[in-house]
Structure 1
């Protein structure tokens, strides 16, 4: 029974992720790049090492993601005035605009998957997922809840 529940949960999450991936493609973003952009816009400027920590990846992985976002004109890297050996990642105006567009994309993808649920069922689901999220301490160390 519990494994069925876990399987259903994973399948629903994968459907939402797939729908988001399809909608992000026209923006030229991968889900990983979109996640970095959300973090930078929502909490920037961020040091590369802090970004890696929040994503729970090795710093070299962040470098690859930030390289792509910088090449697309969505973020910039500047020396950290507090520590010249560190770089700060900041969103550009275009990055902020794309981030706003991404919020709509995420909502549309979730709406597509959750469409069979009534408004009341969605609220129940939101409450249950909030309980699970809160019990796990928000999921990841150093994680900040994404907005939008």
Structure 2
């Protein structure tokens, strides 16, 4: 019988292998997996501030600024002044960025199909159910920890 740590290690191993393989294929098409996250976000939601991107993708603002610098240098995104705040810039995906994102998405989807073709429909449904259950449990734990964290400062202030 496998332990929870055996299964967890195997899941992490799978994630890292799939991530590396997809990143390599996407990079060969011109946009790495990391860069495609920014482009996908901008393509889906439209122009926005870098602070909005940082918040949505859960990245440090400095990381987003550096990524946008590189994407802008490669003409994949453009920055324009924010009409509501002259200190801020609005970032948007360019036509070149859309073309690059589209080109990189094809190998990603193809690899995912190829990897998951190892499972039949029933196994795929079971895996989806199991992973969904683990995602829900993870969310429950995160929410509980956030609540506990919120209670700590209040309890310390009362003491």
Q: TM-score, normalised by structure 1?
A: 0.80
Alpha-carbon distance between aligned partners in 2 of 1:132 and 1:39, rounded to the nearest angstrom: 25
Distance 1:45 1:131, change over 3 A: farther
* TM-fit CA distance, 1:136: 4.2
1:58 Cα shift?
1.8
Give the CA deviation at 1:11. Answer: 1.1
What's 2:11 paired with? 9
Asked which structure has the greater RCO (Cα within 8 Å, sep 6+), the reply is 1
Give the gaps of 5 or more residues in structure 2. Answer: 143-159
- Counterpart residue number, 2:134: 132
Structure 1 unaligned blocks of 5 or more: 141-148
- Please tell me whether residue 86 in structure 1 is matched to residue 84 in structure 2: no
Counterpart position of 2:123:
121
TM-score of the pair, normalised by structure 2: 0.75
Aligned-pair CA distance for 1:51? 0.9
The CA RMSD measured in Å over matched residues stands at 2.0
- Over residues 56-89 of structure 1, what are the superposed CA-to-partner deviations in whole Å (9 max), with x where a residue is unaligned? 2221211111111112221111112222211111
> What is the rounded CA distance, in whole Å, between the counterparts of 2:136 and 2:82 in structure 1?
33
> What is the match of residue 43 of structure 1?
45
Kept in 1: contact 2:50–2:91 (CA 8 A) = yes
Query: Aligned residues, how many?
Result: 138
Instruction: Give the direction of change, closer, same or farther, for the CA distance of 1:127–1:48 in structure 2 (3 Å limit).
Output: same
Q: Distance in 2 between matches of 1:128 and 1:52?
A: 30
- 1:27 is matched with 29
**The structure with more helix, counted as a fraction of residues:** 2
CA distance in 2, matches of 1:55, 1:40: 11
Distance 1:96 1:28 in 2: 12
Q: Do 1:15 and 1:113's aligned partners in 2 also have CA atoms closer than 8 Å? A: no
